[in-house]
Chains A and B, each alone.
Chain A
């Protein structure tokens, strides 16, 4: 069965970086885009960007451009999202999600990574 398993919770200081991982199983990793979505406390879902695991091609949301880096390691079917220059308002839960083959929805989601940014 398809699974996306994310790494554990992180606590970071302002100005630091965080790198979260999303390990895929149960399907061919390189055939489906992986997206990253953030939920800040008391807020809704915010799209951060996506990576094509086959080519490494990336689209970033403008709000995160310059601070976010998405990569992948096809040998271990894992996608990564690194966010730098962290601020307290980057606190939230970060989800990875698989884009469906038809490209019109996110059909599987990781369980989420809680990231806390605090001095």
Chain B
């Protein structure tokens, strides 16, 4: 069974700092990786996807993938209080379309 591991946190960073969220996975064959953000009481929303080794940048967000080491990370630059949420790492599960989620890392950005 595919496993996705995340540090549950909470991770606290001051406003304006860089938040670094990490995720490791067990299946070397995984090809697609996703980061979702979930505010309390809300459903997850997709913020980044990455398929190739290296970095992928989108605004203040950068996803980093290292397939050899089986980890994927998410960097949030210039963190804002509105970034405070739980960030979920996900990758395709055993089936062809379902996703396996990590437990999520709770991020708190302190004003």
Tell whether A pairs with B.
no
Residues of B bordering A, CB below 8 Å: none
Residues of A bordering B, CB below 8 Å: none
